[in-house]
Amino acid sequence: MTKAYELTVLIHPDLETDLETPLGKVRDIVKAAGGTITTEDNWGKKRLQYRIKGEDFAVYVYLEVELPADAPLKISNTLNITDEVLRYLLVTVDEKGRTLLAEAAAKKQDDDSNEDAEA
């Protein structure tokens, strides 16, 4: 039984030129824990709100993953000691919230298209 999670990773800014190496390491960590990556989105280099490990910037990468029950602890323990990763956030996906957001977006799109048709 797997659950859906969102994993946001802040990668050291000096690694921006060769991002595939640290990203490959993060992917390997997820796969070694028995997980699968369903979506990956590189948000690019952004300024941090406060310094982390002496850095003002980080490369943000967002992943949607499917993980078995014991995987989040394994992933957290490994990411905590991974030098390339400044910070990470691993949270469960709120399926009800995601469904409501999708429905609200669809309703807004319908309303907008109806307004266009009336104009």
pTM: 0.80
Percent of the chain past pLDDT 70, that is, above it, reads 97
Q: Is residue 20 assigned to a domain?
A: yes
Range list of H helices, the chain? 20-32, 71-80, 95-118
Q: Is residue 28 assigned to a domain?
A: yes
Q: Is residue 15 assigned to a domain?
A: yes
Q: Is residue 59 assigned to a domain?
A: yes
Residue-level pLDDT at 110: 81
- In which domain, by residue range, is 79 found? 2-93
What confidence tens digit (pLDDT) does each residue in 55-102 have? 999 999 999 999 998 999 999 999 999 999 999 999 998 878 778 888
Residues 26 and 10: beta-carbon distance below 8 Å = no
CATH number of the domain at 40, please.
3.30.70.60
Q: Is residue 57 assigned to a domain?
A: yes
Q: How many domains does the chain have?
A: 1
Residue-level pLDDT at 116: 67
Dist CA 1 CA 66 (whole Å): 10
Q: Is residue 21 assigned to a domain?
A: yes
Calculate the CA 83 to chain-centre distance: 18
Q: Is residue 81 assigned to a domain?
A: yes
